[in-house]
Structure 1
Amino acid sequence: MKSYPIIENVTLSNSSITNEIYPLIKSIRSDWTSLNTRLVTFTEGLTNIILGVFDNRTPDDDSNALIVKIYGIQIELFIDRQAEINAMIKFHEHGVFSQRVLIQFNNGIIYEFAPGKTCSRDDVREENISKLIAIKLAEIHNIPVEETEQPYIILILRQFLKLLDKNSFDLSSIISDIDIIEERILPRLIPNPKYGQDLVLCHNDLLVKNIIYNNKNQTISFIDFEFTNLNYALFDIANHFIEYAVVEDADFTIYPSHDEQKKWLKIYFQGVGVGV
């Protein structure tokens, strides 16, 4: 039985990936060639090049499809690539998501495709989809973790600041604000730890387009785990609610109503084993 991910000393180039990809995936898809597959470029990625490899012989079944992720230049300065891979491995081991990381190469990874459609801001408001999202997020937050001293939100903010040119920006007020958030605000947000103050494994980037709905199987998958790390559970929830308005052409009039939030939270807290 193979152990994944397979480590390959290969560097892919987007300009010649048509020729390079098939030797790379031979160990996991031995009969795939340019003649019986198709490459699809996904345009949603902001920092990476994302491609799908699909088997033309099974047009109605994408279960064996692959996603090729080529890392953006210098993105590793603020994204921990190994943490991303470790999170995906952990999700698969705990049965939260089915897609495995199959190959790790010098400048990217290849992992299994999650069949379904990317959600829109209308989709996430649908009662059945909303319920599935709440249940799935609870499953993530229930994964056992080793706690650290700081939530990821603080770590990543400080990491971003390190990348800025201090000669071009006055960062003193921003640094002061982060100190206040860390020392005074976050510890007081939730008076009862069981409702979300404890650190859990969070997705940390629940854009609606990072949520995949499979109508056939009535399942939800999340994608894009670049920022997955320990954080406050309620950060993931608040982030998801905010994303109802979407990043582009944001419309906060469609932020979930009090009743929508209450219904969603009831399902979520039942999933994490907290009575409400």
Structure 2
Amino acid sequence: MLIECMETLSAVDLRDPEISASIASKLKEFHNLDMPGPKSSLLWDRLRNWLKTAKSVCPSDEAKEFRLDSLEKEIAALESEFSGEDQCIGFCHNDLQYGNIMIDEETKALTIIDYEYSSFNPVAYDIANHFCEMAADYHSEEPHLLDYTKYPDFDERKRFVQTYLISSDGEEPDAEKVKDLLNSIEKYALASHLFWGLWGIISEHVNDIDFDYMDYARQRFAQYWLKKPAILACHADE
């Protein structure tokens, strides 16, 4: 009976202000889970491992197209860029797309599912990844296509972060904390593009699912190279 009243969210649901606020609160709970193992970020090691795998499965023309030989330098630069920040590390889902969030139709309570990519990481990365997923609709006729006009605007991002940072006793977050987390999220969106771009390349060579992984990867890398100059320049001016 309980299963029957649960369903996964849709792409449109992520834009609903009430549902988005519920996701922010639920994600904060998730990040605070006291899971076993080292409480350190796995993001950079995973990126390097996936880059190594991508190089091993890619023919030379694909490796050249995706500039794989330059990505080790890009990963190192991002890690160095973000390492000086006072980062909050939590247990992250790392794949919070709408299909991994279930809602109870009666109570509207949310449940996060599918933890195959979960690990400790900067919480800003997990939120950035969630925002990037708003560009996707995996139930469309062309599920690999991304529409970055659907990336949440500043007001949407700010509302999400303000809800996320509300204290356990309901106290509103400090404006400076909201600003800092918003800035970190935009920077970690770059890491999300690299992460899923590499995932797309690898998946093209190891999966038989009917999904255009290569074009998906192209879109993620295109966003990385498009957004990187402005985002890092903005950070340098802070």
State the TM-score bracket (shorter-chain normalisation). Answer: 0.5 to 0.7
Contact 1:116–1:214, Cα closer than 8 Å, also in 2: yes
In structure 2, list runs of 5 or more residues that go unmatched.
138-142, 175-238
> In proportion to residue count, which structure has more strand?
1
- What residue is the counterpart of 1:85 in the other structure? none
Query: Using a 3 Å threshold, how does the CA distance of structure 1 residues 174 and 272 change in structure 2: closer, same or farther?
Result: farther
- What residue is the counterpart of 2:173 in the other structure? 275
- What residue is the counterpart of 1:256 in the other structure? 152
Residue 128 (structure 2) aligned to one of 235, 238, 255: 238
Please give the residue correspondences for 1:1-276 in structure 2 after superposition, counting only pairs within 5 Å.
61-63=1-3, 116-144=6-34, 148=38, 151-163=41-53, 164-165=55-56, 168=59, 171-182=68-79, 184-188=80-84, 191=85, 193=86, 197-246=87-136, 248=143, 249-271=145-167, 275-276=173-174
Deviation at 1:144, TM superposition (A): 3.2
Contact 1:141–1:201, Cα closer than 8 Å, also in 2: yes
In structure 1, list runs of 5 or more residues that go unmatched.
1-60, 66-114
Q: Distance in 2 between matches of 1:149 and 1:174?
A: 26
Q: Which runs of 4+ in 1 moved over 6 A?
A: none
- What residue is the counterpart of 2:205 in the other structure? none
Query: Using a 3 Å threshold, how does the CA distance of structure 1 residues 149 and 211 change in structure 2: closer, same or farther?
Result: closer
Whichever residue aligns with residue 250 of structure 1, its letter is: L
**Aligned-residue RMSD, C-alpha:** 2.7
Whichever residue aligns with residue 104 of structure 2, its letter is: N
Q: Distance in 2 between matches of 1:151 and 1:140?
A: 16
Higher deviation after alignment, 223-232 or 257-266 = 257-266
Q: Larger relative CO (CA 8 A, sep 6+): 1 or 2?
A: 2
> In proportion to residue count, which structure has more helix?
2
Contact 2:101–2:111, Cα closer than 8 Å, also in 1: yes
Deviation at 1:258, TM superposition (A): 1.2
Q: After superposition, what is the alpha-carbon deviation per residue over 1:52-104, rounded to whole angstroms, capped at 9, x for unaligned? A: xxxxxxxxx144x8xxxxxxxxxxxxxxxxxxxxxxxxxxxxxxxxxxxxxxx
Q: Distance in 1 between matches of 2:152 and 2:159?
A: 10
Deviation at 1:198, TM superposition (A): 2.5
Contact 1:142–1:272, Cα closer than 8 Å, also in 2: no
Contact 2:39–2:90, Cα closer than 8 Å, also in 1: no
Q: Secondary structure at the match of 1:241?
A: helix
Q: Distance in 2 between matches of 1:275 and 1:118?
A: 30
Query: Using a 3 Å threshold, how does the CA distance of structure 1 residues 219 and 271 change in structure 2: closer, same or farther?
Result: farther
Identity of aligned residues (%): 31
Give TM-score, length-normalised by structure 2: 0.59
Q: Distance in 2 between matches of 1:145 and 1:158?
A: 24
Q: Secondary structure at the match of 1:265?
A: helix
Q: Distance in 1 between matches of 2:69 and 2:39?
A: 23
Give TM-score, length-normalised by structure 1: 0.51
Query: Using a 3 Å threshold, how does the CA distance of structure 1 residues 269 and 168 change in structure 2: closer, same or farther?
Result: same
Q: Secondary structure at the match of 2:90?
A: strand
Q: Distance in 1 between matches of 2:110 and 2:39?
A: 31
Q: Distance in 2 between matches of 1:246 and 1:167?
A: 25
Whichever residue aligns with residue 180 of structure 1, its letter is: A
Q: Distance in 1 between matches of 2:168 and 2:49?
A: 31
Q: Quick check: which has more Rg, 1 or 2?
A: 1
Deviation at 1:166, TM superposition (A): 8.1
